[in-house]
Amino acid sequence: MQQKKHSTSRGRSKSLYEIRKSTIQGRGVFARRRLRPGQKIIEYTGDLIPNDEADRRYDEEKMKRHHTFLFTLDDDRCIDGNVRTNDARLINHSCDPNCEAIIEDERIWIYALRNIQPGVELGYDYKYERTGGKEMEKFYVCHCGSPKCRGSIMAPAKRRKKKSAPGKRNSGTGV
C-alpha cells in the first residue's frame, strides 16, 4: 500500500486555537476564541499507512512509555500524525473531553462537544483498544487531571450487566 499524505486545514482553523505548554503533557492545543458545540476545529492529518507499517514505526516493546501519533482509520489503515504540519497531534487525551474525533470520508476531524471558552485546553478521549492484561494500564497511564480520570488512556473497561433472578422484576420508582 502506498503511503500518502492527508491534506491539512491548518490555515483556516489556526485562528480557532493556539499551541502552548500543557499541564497534561508537553504542549497542548488551547481555544483562542469561544468554540460552540458541534463546531469543526481541526483535521488530524499525516501519513496514511497500513497497520503493519505502523507496527514497524512504533515498536511498543522498545518504548519506556507510550508515545505515538497513530490514529486508527479503519481495520487496515491508520494515520501517522507525526508530521510537523499536524497541530491536532498535540491535542491531549482527557477522560472528561471537551472535543471528539469523528471520521468523515477517510478524514479525521476534531469537533467541540460543548462550549469551550478561550484559553481552555482541548482534549478528546483517545479510547485506545484494550489489549493485553492489567500491565497495559501502566503503559497507557493518563495524566489528564480530571476528577473523572480513569487512570488510563485506554477505552473504559466493559462493565458486566447483573443478571436478575428469573421471574423477578427490578423495582422502579414510577407509578
Q: Which CATH number characterizes residue 119's domain?
A: 2.170.270.10
pLDDT per residue rounded down to tens, the chain (175 residues): 444 444 444 455 679 999 999 999 999 999 999 999 999 999 999 999 999 998 888 876 666 655 679 999 999 999 999 999 999 999 999 999 999 999 999 999 999 999 999 999 999 999 887 766 666 667 788 889 999 998 888 888 776 666 555 554 444 444 3
Instruction: Tell whether 151 is covered by a domain.
Output: no
CA-nearest of 149, 91, 151 to 123 is 91
Instruction: Tell whether 163 is covered by a domain.
Output: no
User: ∠41-25-159 over CA atoms, to 5°?
Assistant: 80
pLDDT at 166: 52
Instruction: Tell whether 147 is covered by a domain.
Output: no
* Whether the predicted model's global pTM rises above the 0.85 cut: no
Instruction: Tell whether 165 is covered by a domain.
Output: no
| HSE value, Cβ hemisphere, 13 Å, CA-based, for 147 | 0
Instruction: Tell whether 64 is covered by a domain.
Output: yes
Domain count, the chain: 1
Instruction: Tell whether 98 is covered by a domain.
Output: yes
- Name every residue whose Cβ is closer than 8 Å to that of residue 22 and which is 6 or more positions away in sequence: 28, 92, 121
Instruction: Tell whether 142 is covered by a domain.
Output: no
Domain that holds residue 13: 4-126
pLDDT at 170: 43
